[in-house]
Structure 1
């Protein structure tokens, strides 16, 4: 039988320890308290099977790549790699569980393309023998190529899907409802819709003229052609939300850089003016010193002349008592009290007084020159520091300009991407409006459901219902023989009520039974099936019908025991369960049990964490 087996899920990145879980060949139970990453594992598996986006949680921040190990039906082991941001897949023909990664052996596109082999959808479908199948997409027998995304929700069920009121075979999308019903028919009776011949609906022709239909269809075809290589609208809206956040952050960064540039520019201007002031004062100080040096030389010259005068006077006796050198009078005849133009004593005193005054002025001048020199030295140091600060500010300004240019370029790219996404979303809005127009005029929902339901044989419905009842009986579900699959509603009927009418606990356990029963039904009849089932919290919320669904407490022990015994003994292929409750009985040797503790001892959760940080790092509300 052509079936796949999941070997491991691993996240790798630079400077972080790989985060990895290895799955067993039969049953794998990942259990532990909330917020330890169990639901994220389910989301990541779906992401590696072609989903467009991976849930963002803080713990995966430092991880860049996801690895999914697969064993193909021929026992070949391959590893799919994908960036956490989405995009294409790399294929390695070996079991890879750590980085750094080399060049992949092959590359697969993420989006299904029925006319090209190089996409992950056809790669997986081809491995299990479902490639090339056609499924009906409306009541006019128009068909579409089967994609692995049409299959994934039948084998990978997250907690929200498990408890939803939407029937297990459907995703809740009105547009793809008919196709999803046809996909279930492929699994129930190994029969696709490739033999259908498209026909025109008479009721449609009666309600809407050919001209109107042709116009709407032509517009839809043109829009679908423009959107052929574009992600789904929900993914685009997620991208737009992330882009808006990035644009706001980038705009804030640009604003900060602009403010910083203005501040640095002002500081640079101030520093340039300060440097110019220092230079001007330096020039003034030099000029003043030069003038003071000239004056100092003048004082020195004056003192030298006065010294010469005095020395000459002394040599000639001008300044000593005796015969007057001017009139020749002897000392006895000299008139001491009479003014004499040649009074040598007065002349000598005048020379001494002038020399004293000149020395005082010369000393004062030297002190002033010293002050000027000190200021010149200070100005040199201030100018050098100012020049160094100016150069640093100029370098900072260059760096800011480069950063601003880079951030502006990135902001421009982000705005361009946003414009592109908004344009595509506008096209999707046009598609939705046109499809709504057609639905208003021609309501095909009843006809489509009836057409697909009628194509599922009563034998297939009866045998699948029996498998479903057997599974629930093994789990201890009350009145399991009253449970059946109803093709007309595409839902499970339990106790004469559709599954959607029950509480979330009953909805969850009926969805788990549906998914496991479908896998075993296909395996027993050798009908192609992915070969694995991933269930998120199938029994945690279950309470018996006679118990208040809002009451606290654990699910009934006999149901928990029955569930784990059954999947270990009766389930076929690979079963991977995420659950908060612990098994009440020992598991068999073939079951792989992975326990998350949310504590410092043991394994905290999926991602390695520092024990000191503890639960603060985990924020997965669905885990």
Structure 2
């Protein structure tokens, strides 16, 4: 079976002690108090498997390179190295444990590219025979190539994700939810989405939605830039209420003018909104015209190509007398087609039919583009009219401001402040409307994930739910037999409520069971899986420093779960599992397990993954 095995994670620097932790083929437990670098180790592993960045902590000072040892399915040992600042990785075809690195290696980009082998994602996917896999990204059936990062979040679980209310199979990002469910489906069913046929116009629909969101995002950025130094909306409304009370004391003589001014301000706001709506409409029309123009060019190209093919086919029939080039009939058996007046062939008829179909599509597109031109013209006319109204209303407002008690500077000042407050509140209203519009577009993308979820194979889900229940039962989880995976919510249903509704301790245990259960499900069925899982704090959330410090086990978890958990993953899990935990095991680990203990006490055992701040350089100099 194709699977990977992690050998070690190492940090190296020219003037600091080498910091490394080796991993066993089965269970590796890294335990100790909080803030000893356990979560940093998880982040470092994720970083070496294509993560964007590595957290900068004080203890990291002086370390320049991260090394990750990996055993490939062929048994070959390789080492990946990467600078702590990020960027490309280097692949060494040997077991490298420290620098400096005299032997040059192969450079691998950290960014996935299915058209090149010179990137980490494709290198690792080839080891798992997944390099040609496609996964679905929307309801219309559009697909993208599988990236190794699409699998990482299913086998490397950080502490935050472990306790998060977000379902285990997804990350919580709406833009990638459909892809993530598709990747989960790939592991469950051992079948990618290469057979899915995209519906006509799917790509244009996705691009149109994306273009609309881009336009709204730009408008939102413009509005938010104007609100950077503006008080929040509630405070503005309070200020406006107090200001109105003050104005009431000064407006007895100018009440009529103020009423007119208030009406003008409302008209001005409506006109400004009309200008903004016209600009938004023009932006959308422009984006659509650009895309439809490309489609029209494609239709023209198709028609030219079809005409060329038809002409070539007719000429071929004219210049090659004898046996028919299309049906194989001998010359004596060929008959003149009087209905057409000329010799015709099925080939010509099919070409003519395709030309007619393409012309019809182009005609429909032309109508659509004409409608876009009409919309654009209407938007421009509306925009010009609204701009003219804004300018005229602005002039009238300035005249009114001059007429309102010219000698009363305090009143003019209050009115000016009120105008500023109203403009700021109008910006907040505009931002709220744009946000609501964007949310509506985003909600439309959620149907994509729903379609993919509905396509999950029920038999596979039942078998996976059985594996999940079996794992939880071995850990002593109450009523584990009723636990199942719900495809509609993409969440675990336990105790008649979804995982997201439980406390964080139970959420962590259920997520651990999902991750380990999914890996074992794949291993049992010879389905491609990275072969390893990394779990950060599946059982307990905090432990203060000190060898005798008490631990805080979630009270909602069953008594004995710690012993049952370690006993099960050693005896019944066939892959590699690396656990970062604050809690010490209640029973001795098996002889094949690797037990790494951090103390967070200087001079007592190993302090942590990295030496404490200030001691690393001194220790190196003493060596």
TM-score range (shorter-chain normalised) is 0.5 to 0.7
Q: 1:151 to 1:434 in 2, by over 3 A?
A: farther
In 1, Cα distance between the equivalents of 2:616 and 2:8? 26
**Equivalent in the alignment of 1:528:** 528
Shift of 1:450: 2.9
**2-side partners of 1:120 and 1:434: how far apart?**
39
Which residue in the other structure is 1:607 paired with? 610
| Shift in alpha-carbon separation, 1:191–1:444, aligned structure 2, 3 A | farther
| Structure 2 contact 213–441 (Cα < 8 Å) conserved | no
Task: Give the whole-Å Cα distance in 2 for the aligned partners of 1:50 and 1:442.
Answer: 27
Aligned equivalent of 1:407: none
Q: Distance in 2 between matches of 1:603 and 1:584?
A: 21
- C-alpha distance in 2 between matches for 1:179 and 1:214: 17
How many pairs align? 392
CA distance in 1, matches of 2:606, 2:169: 35
2:498 is aligned to 498
Residue pair 1:139, 1:444 contacting (<8 A) in 2 also: no
Residue pair 2:213, 2:438 contacting (<8 A) in 1 also = no
1:174 alignment counterpart: 174
Q: Superposed, which structure 2 residues align to 1:271-286 within 5 Å? A: none
Tell me what 1:80 maps to.
80
CA contact (8 A) 1:70 1:77 kept: yes
C-alpha separation in 1, matches of 2:206 and 2:152: 33
The whole-number CA distance in structure 2 between the counterparts of 1:552 and 1:454 is 35
Instruction: Tell me if the contact between 2:478 and 2:558 (Cα under 8 Å) persists in the aligned partners.
Output: no
How far did 1:526 drift?
A: 0.3
Q: Which residue of 2 aligns with 1:233?
A: none
Distance 2:75 2:448 in 1: 40
Partner of 1:561: 563
Report the counterpart of residue 253 of structure 1 in structure 2.
none
Contact 2:505 2:557 in 1 (8 A): no
> Whole-Å Cα distance in 1 between the matches of residues 172 and 149 of structure 2?
14
Q: How far apart in 1 are the matches of 2:525 and 2:434?
A: 42
Partner of 1:588: 590
Q: Are 1:138 and 2:138 an aligned pair?
A: yes
For the residues of structure 2 that align with 1:60 and 1:531, how far apart are their CA atoms? 29
Contact 1:483 1:494 in 2 (8 A): yes
The CA deviation string for residues 104-150 of structure 1, in whole angstroms up to 9 with x for no partner, is 32110010111111100111111112112111111111111111111
Q: What are the within-5 Å matches in structure 2 for residues 56-135 of structure 1?
A: 56-135=56-135
Work out the CA distance in 2 between the residues paired with 1:221 and 1:611: 47
User: Which whole-Å deviations, capped at 9, do the CAs of 1:169-202 have from their partners, x for residues lacking one?
Assistant: 000000000000000000001111111111158x
Unmatched 5+ residue regions in structure 2? Answer: 216-432, 543-550, 618-623
Quick one: distance in 2 between partners of 1:573 and 1:500? 27
Whether 1:513 aligns to 2:516 is no
* 1:537 to 2:540 alignment: no
CA contact (8 A) 1:216 1:434 kept: no
Rounded to whole Å, the distance in 2 between the matches of 1:78 and 1:437 is: 50
Q: How does 1:263-342 map to 2 (within 5 A)?
A: none
**Aligned counterpart, 1:266:** none
The alpha-carbon deviation at position 69 of structure 1 amounts to: 0.2
Cα distance in 1 for residues equivalent to 2:79 and 2:593: 23
**Structure 2-normalised TM-score?**
0.59
Supply the distance in 1 between the matched residues of 2:435 and 2:134 (Cα, whole angstroms). Answer: 22
User: CA distance change for structure 1 residues 513 and 553 in 2, over 3 Å: closer, same or farther?
Assistant: closer
Q: CA deviation at 1:530?
A: 0.2
Residue 172 of structure 1 aligns to a residue in which SS? coil
Greater gyration radius:
1
Cα gap change, 1:91 to 1:446, in 2 (>3 Å): closer
SS in 2 for 1:492: strand
- CA drift of 1:167 comes to 0.3
Distance 1:122 1:176 in 2: 20
Corresponding residue for 1:338? Answer: none
Mark the CA change 1:541 to 1:442 in structure 2 (over 3 Å): closer, same or farther: closer
1-side partners of 2:523 and 2:467: how far apart? 12
Which among 581, 591, 602 is matched to residue 579 of structure 1? Answer: 581
- Give the structure 1 partner of residue 313 of structure 2: none
Cα 1:215–1:551 shift into 2, 3 Å: closer
* Deviations 1:377-430 (CA, angstroms, capped at 9, x unpaired): xxxxxxxxxxxxxxxxxxxxxxxxxxxxxxxxxxxxxxxxxxxxxxxxxxxxxx
Sort the Cα spacing of 1:488 and 1:613 in 2 relative to 1 into closer, same or farther, 3 A: same
Distance 2:79 2:442 in 1: 47
Q: How far apart, CA to CA, are the structure 2 residues paired with 1:522 and 1:217?
A: 35
Distance 2:206 2:96 in 1: 52
Say if 1:508 and 1:541, in contact at 8 Å, map to a contact too. Answer: no
1:374 is matched with none
Instruction: Show the counterpart of 1:6.
Output: 6
Indicate how the Cα distance of structure 1 residues 108 and 441 shifts in structure 2: closer, same or farther if over 3 A, else same. closer
Which residue pairs with 1:193 in the alignment?
193
| Residue of structure 1 in register with 2:156 after alignment | 156
Report matched runs for 1:371-520 at 5 Å: 440-441=440-441, 443-520=443-520
SS in 1 for 2:459: helix
Alignment partners' CA distance in 2, 1:585 and 1:550:
18
**CA separation of 1:611/1:113 partners in 2, compared to 1, >3 Å: closer, same or farther?**
closer
The 8 Å contact of residues 31 and 598 in structure 2, kept in 1 or not, is answered as yes
CA distance in 1, matches of 2:445, 2:125: 28
Q: Would the alpha carbon gap of residues 190 and 531 (structure 1) be closer, same or farther in structure 2, given more than 3 Å must change?
A: same
1:54 and 2:57 aligned: no
For the residues of structure 2 that align with 1:584 and 1:441, how far apart are their CA atoms?
51
Q: Tell me, in whole angstroms, the C-alpha distance in 2 between the residues paired with 1:112 and 1:81.
A: 17
CA separation of 1:82 and 1:590: change in aligned 2, threshold 3 A: same
* Equivalent in the alignment of 1:288: none
User: Does structure 1 retain, via aligned residues, the 8 Å contact 2:174–2:446?
Assistant: no
User: What is the RMSD of the two structures over their aligned residues, measured on CA atoms?
Assistant: 3.0
Q: 1:607 Cα deviation (Å)?
A: 1.1
Judged with a 3 Å threshold, the aligned counterparts in structure 2 of structure 1 residues 591 and 554 are, in CA distance, closer, same or farther, namely farther
Per-residue CA distance 1:6-36 (angstroms, 9 max, x = gap) = 0000000111111000000111000001111
Q: Secondary structure at the match of 1:85?
A: coil
After superposition, the Cα gap between the structure-2 partners of 1:46 and 1:135, relative to the gap in structure 1 and judged at 3 Å, is same
Q: Is the Cα contact below 8 Å between 2:42 and 2:156 reproduced in 1?
A: yes
